[in-house]
Structure 1
Amino acid sequence: MSSTENVLELGWVLWGLNYANVAVTTSWTYNSFLTLADEVAFLTQSQWRLPKLLYIVCRYLTCGYLTLEMLVAFQPMMSIHTCQVIYSINTYLGSFIVVCAEGVFLLRVCAIWGFGRKMVVLFSMSGLMYVIAATVVLSIIRSPPTTTKSPIPVTSCLETGSDRTIIILYVILVAAEIQIWAFALYKFAASYSRRGGRNHLLEQLIHHNMIYLTCGLVFSFSVILTTARLNVFYGFMIVRFLRN
């Protein structure tokens, strides 16, 4: 493929991701306005516990993450240094949001298991193991992404780097999500096979968990497949989009 074709292909990808980011940001903003009354009631009336703190992190740090992503996408004259600063901030923000979101999933699954001591210990140890594994991978593979100026004025800059890092980290994430999904699936099957005395509130919680976890698995597999099959910079851009 010639360099001109590469640039054109990159342009289509960047345009598509820009539109996707606008769609995600618009949907997030619209949903925030629709649920504002419920959110105020939740924040003012519920007790301050770990699930609430994780929810606040996922809810409001996402606003900052999306704002910075939109800034990079629609300021084509931004300098490389500014891009590097924004990408660094968003890397930490995105990683922290993902960890907190997985924490929410863990707590929800522990809740449908009645916060049994064995389940809490199991998921706590598993979560710690996955975090340690990701940290070890990042410490061994010392190849941070490189920020380069976009060859076309669709966005200000883009990141390129080792696709191996993305794939390994998302394989770890998929392993964690499959574990959570499997325990939720067991409860999901058990709730529908039970005769008499069904807890409809518990069934709704399990049902919602299955939807959220399945979506998370699909997105994680999308990152792995995209990074493995397409050019490396596509993987980095898809990662940033799916964190939204």
Structure 2
Amino acid sequence: MMSARSMQFATYIFASMATFWTYDYACSLHEEWSFLLRSHWNKVKGLYIVTRCLPFILLTTNLYLSFTPNQDPGKCRVLANIDSGFGILSAVCSEGFFILRTWALWNNNKILLAAILVTFITFSGASVGISFATTAPAAYTTSAIPGITGCYQSSTSFRLFIPFFFLSVFELGLMMLTLIRAIQNWWIDTKRLYVVLVKHNIFYYTCGLLFSVLNIFTMLLLHYSYHSMLHDSQFIILAILATRMHLHLWRMNRHAYGSGALAHIPMSDMSFANPST
């Protein structure tokens, strides 16, 4: 009975996230098309497109697992592994925006960027290894209750909280770097773009830390589908925040430097460069 309730609750979460993502996409469609058509193609634009599309894949996979009748636990395991892989990729892409933003705040310091990337790659590699090593041998089962479809992981491991712990530590480090730089330059650089950049970073890291703590809590203390119901919710929310904030900064930069300014300014320089650079 508890497993059935957890599956129903997780299904409600996924359906709510699908509705929220669809609503967000509809609200930002005009601005998004303006960005895609007017900005030049570069690596950051490619990162934006990938980050924007991954939540659709995650939601499709979760809804399929929740609503499609499935009597094959092996298929459940394969789909769950695919979902985990795309979830980690979504988190990597979302964090990529804020790695570049933090690098921009530190005037494109290459030593700092190298340290951030080494830490990020180490944490990401460890998270991938732990996630797949833990989920591969896990037992999956399908619902045997009439009217309730889908499959769930009937056994889990406490080690699955480690990737979220790594993510929270990494985001805390980026938050500290942002705060240190903001304190150093607050009275020197008060341009609106700089202030918005700092506020975006802090808000994003705060949301990421909050979700990571919630995921660690559910992983360690809850059972059945409850323990994984917020996994993809975190990745989807972070992807929405990252892309929304990128659009907002792009729009502000165009207003500050002219309609074509950002087309020639890389992401890491957008808050400080002049149109002529």
For Structure 1 versus Structure 2, the TM-score category normalised by the shorter chain is: 0.7 to 0.9
Which structure 2 residues correspond to residues 1-244 of structure 1 after superposition, within 5 A?
Answer: 7=1, 9-75=2-68, 77-80=69-72, 81-135=74-128, 137=130, 144-152=137-145, 153-192=147-186, 194=187, 198-231=190-223, 233-244=225-236
Answer whether contact 1:143 1:162 (CA < 8 A) is retained: no
* Partner-residue secondary structure (3-state), 2:117: helix
Answer whether contact 2:6 2:225 (CA < 8 A) is retained: no
Alpha-carbon RMSD across the aligned residues, in angstroms, is: 2.4
Answer whether contact 1:163 1:235 (CA < 8 A) is retained: no
CA separation of 1:53 and 1:240: change in aligned 2, threshold 3 A: same
CA separation of 1:61 and 1:138: change in aligned 2, threshold 3 A: closer
C-alpha separation in 2, matches of 1:163 and 1:84: 15
Report the more deviating stretch, 15-24 or 210-219. Answer: 15-24
Name the count of aligned residue pairs: 234
How far does the alpha carbon of each residue in 1:98-153 deviate from its partner, in whole angstroms, 9 at most, with x for none?
Answer: 11112222112112222222222221222122234335545876853322112434
Shift of 1:27: 1.2
Unaligned segments of structure 1, at least 5 residues? 1-6
C-alpha separation in 2, matches of 1:167 and 1:84: 19
Answer whether contact 2:153 2:224 (CA < 8 A) is retained: no
* Partner-residue secondary structure (3-state), 1:148: strand
Q: Which residue of 2 aligns with 1:4?
A: none
C-alpha separation in 2, matches of 1:32 and 1:108: 23
Shift of 1:232: 5.6
C-alpha separation in 2, matches of 1:108 and 1:151: 49
Answer whether contact 1:166 1:235 (CA < 8 A) is retained: no
Answer whether contact 1:161 1:233 (CA < 8 A) is retained: no
Unaligned segments of structure 2, at least 5 residues? 237-277
Shift of 1:215: 0.4
C-alpha separation in 1, matches of 2:124 and 2:108: 22
TM-score (norm 2): 0.75
CA separation of 1:36 and 1:143: change in aligned 2, threshold 3 A: closer
Query: Which amino acid is the alignment partner of residue 231 of structure 2?
Result: V
Relative CO higher for 1 or 2, CA cutoff 8 Å, sep ≥ 6? 2
C-alpha separation in 1, matches of 2:205 and 2:129: 25
CA separation of 1:148 and 1:241: change in aligned 2, threshold 3 A: farther
How far does the alpha carbon of each residue in 1:161-199 deviate from its partner, in whole angstroms, 9 at most, with x for none?
Answer: 43322122221122111111211222344454x16x511
TM-score (norm 1): 0.84
